[in-house]
Amino acid sequence: MTERAALDAAESAPTQRGLLRVEDLVVDYAGKGFRAKKFRALTDINISIGQGETLGLVGESGSGKTTLGRAVLGLAPVSGGRITFEGQDISHATRRQRRVLSRDMQVVFQDPYTSLNPALEIGDILAEPLGVQGMEATAAKKRVKELLDQVGLPSDAIHRLPREFSGGQRQRVAIARALALSPKLIVCDEPVSALDLSTQARVLDLFLQIQKDTGVSYLFVSHDLDVVRHISHRVAVMYRGEIVEQGPAEVVTRDPEHPYTQRLLLASPVPDPDRQEKRRADRHRLLEMQRQQNEQAGVPA
Amino acid sequence: MTESVETAALTPAPGRAVPEKSGQTGTVVRSTVLRRLFKNPLGIIAIVILLAMAVMAVFADALAPFDENFANISKTLAAPDGVNILGTDSSGRDVWSRLLFGAQLTLASALLCAAVAIAIGLPAGLIAGYYAGKFEAVSNWVVSILMSLPGLIVLLTIRAAFGPSVWIAMIAFGVLISPSYFRLTRSAVQSVRNELYVDAARVSGLSDLRIITRHIFSVVRAPIIIQTAAIAGVAIAIQSGLEFLGLGDPAKATWGVMLSEGFKNVYLTPSLLFWPAFAMALTIGALVLLGNAIRDALEDGEKIKHRRKKIRTAEDAATASAAKAARKTVATVEAGTEHHLVKVTNLGVGYPQADGSVKKVVDDVSFHVDRGEILGIVGESGSGKSQTAFSILGLLPDTARIVAGAIQFDGNYTVAPGEDKVSQDRLSKLRGKRISYIPQEPMSNLDPAFTIGYQLVTPMMRVLGISKAEATTRGMKLLADVGIVNPERTFKAYPHEVSGGMAQRVLIAGAISCEPDLIIADEPTTALDVTVQADVLDLIRDLQRRLGVGVILVTHNFGVVADLCDRVVVMQNGRLVEEGPVREILRNPKKEYTQTLLASMLEGKEPMTMLVPAPSSVTARSTAKENVL
């Protein structure tokens, strides 16, 4: 952990960061086959999210960022450490506890094509979490209408099937489902990665607008540093199952300390040929410098 | 790319240039499985036959003039007459009545067999598929044992132990056949178990029972129905086979018992054999046809009639005839354009629809690429950028038609004006040799069954006509060229043994292996991590400079465009929006669409602010309704 991150952790009062805390989390996946070696997906993860705050989680594929989101939701096995939500330990919550928890914690997945059951109408999909909490059918229907309005979908969408909608619209449905119970935290697992550029912009706007209106917190997982910078208050960078850097979004995404974050920042191309040429040169210089440092430190490339 | 799905719209967006009134707008069809089933003549015939059989079986008591075992000793083996409409058997029993009662018992026992098989196989399959783990392991063992049992011998043993009851035999057969349901259900469930919507339901706190009944059962419903049609047929055949061997209960009339009885008198009265055999053939045949009809109905198999010439609209026909006239006079390209490596002129690509219209996915697109130049084609999904690239490669699906325009490569037409398909003759001489391709998904473009070396060497041997040894040396060098540190190890590796970035390097090595003049790269870095993307972009740039090839880079990412391209073409909804040098397009876009796209870039934006200009909520809402999304 870097010095600054430690400082950052110290200055944050526990009340502010109290909504979700993840301490020394370890996730192991069982290997395939008899007596197979376990695969360690996450190692000693420490994060926290306060009310109305967005923590951006950035990293490349296989870095464990999605696993972290799933562990918080109870979809990945917790082998060590603690996850607390509003002070309550939920590392090994039962299905019954999860049902209570689902009022406060929801999810938006990456792929808007497989995250909605193709056989159910939009209205049924949105009413599902309401029904689980025991809401009456008429009240649920009213709430579904509100939700559709909130995410900018026409109210006649209720009786349509997911395949009648484009990717961006489906993602709006998924967001509406997450919002149905007015949760305190939404885990967003690459929610805009599958979307077109202009659609991505609108959906990001929607996320920001919802946060402004409802004060919800986000754990926002993405591989795109630009997306994370845009939407997050704080950013954590993951690399090979560990968090290598964590801090205020502005600092981490503009002036990172960790070599990996530096590489990540310079790898993302900018939409201007001349500035991109400069960035390219910067990146080559950085790679060369890091290579020399590694050589001096005796680390094999 | 999921282009066709992405553009699926509730209503066509205003100002959309492509006349897309058909196809994607009205694709939504619900509860049509039944309707489609009834449209299928074979399906109707099967249903009618089965319904008739069911009615006969249910009302056998009322319909049959005699009891099944009522014997008129004075009238044995009689020919059909007014009283015994199908004649009598060797004991003087009425064949028609026995056929009706036989239907009752035969069909009921077949249903019992299927019910037993479903009752065992379906829940076991659901649980094994959903929870996996120990239950699945144990039930797989049980299933394997059941399947390895010799069915007929087991049935004979059971008859010996429990007597000649058709019910017991069918229950036993149901148990024996339950593995087929188990396997069907388990694999269907496994395919959806990890779907995100199941995860979402778990997050919502749904109980496993609710998840299985609500989200998972719907997946297995249809296959179970189809399977049941087949199993019921098999059950009838097996049961009748046992009884034909004389192992049935002679006191009960079933089709099998009648068959056995008729066989004994086959020389005296062949019709005794005919009627039960006919009833069985009809029923089993109807069951099989019904299964097929349901499958067809579920498979959404609406065929598009190929009316190649008639599908054109009047406007298209005019251009086509003009083009045809042009082709007669010259098969050579327009003078003064030969120096372009690729020139696409007024290209239109369309897909004929079932209703006879043509859905255009590319409309009136023109651009050119010169040697040593990188042209970027930018657009969102559904913009037709990949279709344009594929038409240059000649890799459009069979159903696609070139509805307008021409494509020329190095001074020769690959698609001459007026042609409605890409000439595979002309293109197969170019593809792989002079035009090569870098795909989007590196992993799915390498065959997992062959080593990387083999996949690299074989095309070179074929295209360049060189020996294997020479191709191998060359392949090694290529792998080193594309920045692979240990070429020998990669050469011997299978695709699953390398990373995605490495696989893309291998494909790039393959693309330059035959020294092409043009490389078409379709979103070459979209599936890669950002850091890997930067490396691959560097590689493409270096190679392009070194080899002086022309490159068409299809992408949605303006950063990638800025990094590599000399010129840019912006596409939207199949049309060309804007074309120009990269600096001009990225810095001073003329068209509103390009401006919108560039404004959607996050780079350089103030964090936590709205990206789409205010009033954002109204815009978002209205745009959602317009389906620009």
| pLDDT value of residue B300 | 56
pLDDT in tens, B425-455: 888 888 888 999 999 888 888 999 999 999 9
The mean pLDDT value of chain B amounts to: 83
**Contact predicate B13/B628, CB 8 Å:** yes
| pLDDT value of residue B338 | 82
CB-CB under 8 Å, B607 with A271: no
Residue with the two structure tokens 């959607």: B600
**Contact predicate A191/B196, CB 8 Å:** no
The mean pLDDT value of chain A amounts to: 88
* DSSP secondary structure code for residue A240 in this structure: T
Shortest distance between the Cα of B479 and any Cα of chain A, in A, equals 19
A31-45, A229-243, B11-25: which has the minimum mean pLDDT? B11-25
Most confident option among A289-298, B103-112, B296-305, B613-622: B103-112
From chain A, the residues in CB contact with B600 under 8 A are 197-198, 200-201
CB-CB under 8 Å, A208 with B610: yes
- Residue of chain B with shortest Cα separation from A96: B205
From chain A, the residues in CB contact with B596 under 8 A are 198
Most confident option among A21-30, B300-309, B313-322: A21-30
- Going by C-beta distance under 8 Å and a sequence separation of 6 or more, which residues neighbour residue B215? A117, B192, B197, B198, B201
Phi, psi of B221 (to 5 degrees): -55, -55
CB-CB under 8 Å, A99 with B583: no
Shortest distance between the Cα of B7 and any Cα of chain A, in A, equals 6
In terms of Cβ atoms closer than 10 Å to its own Cβ (0-12, 13-18, 19+), residue A251 is middle
| pLDDT value of residue B67 | 87
- Quick one: residue B15, left, alpha or beta (phi over 0 = left, psi -120 to 50 = alpha)? left
For chain B positions 360-399, those within 8 Å of chain A (CB to CB) are: 380-381
From chain A, the residues in CB contact with B608 under 8 A are 208, 230-231
The CA angle A265-A267-A273, to the nearest 5 degrees, is 110
pLDDT in tens, A246-285: 999 999 999 999 999 999 999 989 999 999 999 999 999 9
Determine contact: B600 vs chain A, CB below 8 A.
yes
From chain B, the residues in CB contact with A264 under 8 A are 530-531
DSSP element (H, E) containing B332: none
The token pair at B217 is 């059962």
| Total residue count of chain B as it appears in this document | 629
CB-CB under 8 Å, A209 with B617: yes
CATH number of B36-66+89-298: 1.10.3720.10
CB-CB under 8 Å, A107 with B608: no
B3-12, B105-114, B339-348: which has the minimum mean pLDDT? B3-12
pLDDT in tens, A81-103: 999 999 999 999 888 888 889 88
pLDDT in tens, B524-580: 988 888 888 999 999 999 999 998 999 999 999 999 999 999 999 999 999 999 999
| pLDDT value of residue A111 | 83
**What percent of chain A is modeled with pLDDT above 70?**
91
From chain B, the residues in CB contact with A276 under 8 A are 559, 562-563
Q: Is the pLDDT of residue A32 over 80?
A: no
From chain B, the residues in CB contact with A111 under 8 A are 196
pLDDT in tens, B205-226: 888 888 988 888 888 888 898 8
Nearest Cβ partner of A271 from B202, B562, B620? B562
| pLDDT value of residue B152 | 86
CB-CB under 8 Å, B207 with A95: yes
DSSP element (H, E) containing B301: none
**pLDDT grade, residue B5 (50/70/90)?**
very low
Roughly how many angstroms between the first and final C-alpha of chain A, as a whole number? 22
Shortest distance between the Cα of B299 and any Cα of chain A, in A, equals 15
- Residue of chain A with shortest Cα separation from B206: A132
What span, in angstroms and rounded, lies between the C-alpha atoms of B84 and A67?
76
- Going by C-beta distance under 8 Å and a sequence separation of 6 or more, which residues neighbour residue B620? A152, A202, A205, A206, A209, B612
Distance between alpha carbon B321 and the CA centroid of its chain, in Å?
Answer: 36
Determine contact: B191 vs chain A, CB below 8 A.
no
| pLDDT value of residue B17 | 37
Nearest Cβ partner of A209 from B195, B561, B616? B616
- Residue of chain A with shortest Cα separation from B583: A273
What span, in angstroms and rounded, lies between the C-alpha atoms of B586 and A269?
13
Distance between alpha carbon B515 and the CA centroid of its chain, in Å?
Answer: 35
- The more confident residue out of B397 and B569 is B569
CB-CB under 8 Å, B607 with A249: yes
Nearest Cβ partner of B624 from A98, A152, A269? A152
pLDDT in tens, B475-507: 999 998 888 888 999 999 999 888 888 899 999
* DSSP secondary structure code for residue B620 in this structure: H
From chain A, the residues in CB contact with B623 under 8 A are 152, 202
Determine contact: B466 vs chain A, CB below 8 A.
no
Shortest distance between the Cα of A118 and any Cα of chain B, in A, equals 9
- Residue of chain B with shortest Cα separation from A63: B529
Parts of chain B belonging to CATH 1.10.3720.10: 36-66+89-298
Nearest Cβ partner of B197 from A116, A153, A208? A116
**pLDDT grade, residue B618 (50/70/90)?**
very low
pLDDT in tens, B147-186: 999 988 899 899 889 988 888 989 999 999 999 999 999 9
The token pair at A193 is 């990665």
For residue B554, list its beta bridge partners: B377, B522
Shortest distance between the Cα of B496 and any Cα of chain A, in A, equals 15
Shortest distance between the Cα of B204 and any Cα of chain A, in A, equals 5
Shortest distance between the Cα of B435 and any Cα of chain A, in A, equals 27
Determine contact: B25 vs chain A, CB below 8 A.
no
Determine contact: B193 vs chain A, CB below 8 A.
no
**Contact predicate B356/B21, CB 8 Å:** no
Determine contact: B331 vs chain A, CB below 8 A.
no
Roughly how many angstroms between the first and final C-alpha of chain B, as a whole number? 16
DSSP sequence for A55-114:
EEEE--TTSSHHHHHHHHHT-S---EEEEEETTEE-TT--HHHHHHHTTTEEEE-S-TTT
What span, in angstroms and rounded, lies between the C-alpha atoms of B345 and B391?
12
The stretch B400-406 carries a mean pLDDT of 90
From chain A, the residues in CB contact with B599 under 8 A are 201
CB-CB under 8 Å, B28 with A166: no
Q: Is the pLDDT of residue B323 over 60?
A: no
- Residue of chain A with shortest Cα separation from B617: A152
| pLDDT value of residue B18 | 37
Count CB-CB contacts under 10 A for residue B513: 22
Nearest Cβ partner of A196 from B380, B559, B562? B380
Nearest Cβ partner of B205 from A132, A152, A168? A132
B130, B553, B608, best to mutate vs chain A, most A CBs in 10 Å: B608
DSSP sequence for B233-251:
HHHHHHHHHHHHTT-S-TT
**pLDDT grade, residue A125 (50/70/90)?**
very high
Determine contact: B588 vs chain A, CB below 8 A.
no
For residue B369, list its beta bridge partners: B342
| pLDDT value of residue B36 | 79
Nearest Cβ partner of A201 from B6, B199, B612? B612
CB pairs under 8 A between A and B: 220
DSSP sequence for A91-105:
TT--HHHHHHHTTTE
Determine contact: B477 vs chain A, CB below 8 A.
no
CB-CB under 8 Å, A113 with B602: no
**pLDDT grade, residue B349 (50/70/90)?**
very high
- Going by C-beta distance under 8 Å and a sequence separation of 6 or more, which residues neighbour residue A124? none
CB-CB under 8 Å, A268 with B381: no
For chain B positions 217-276, those within 8 Å of chain A (CB to CB) are: 218
**Contact predicate B537/B525, CB 8 Å:** yes
| pLDDT value of residue A168 | 87
The token pair at A295 is 């050589």
Question: A235: helix, coil or strand?
Answer: strand
CB-CB under 8 Å, A267 with B530: yes
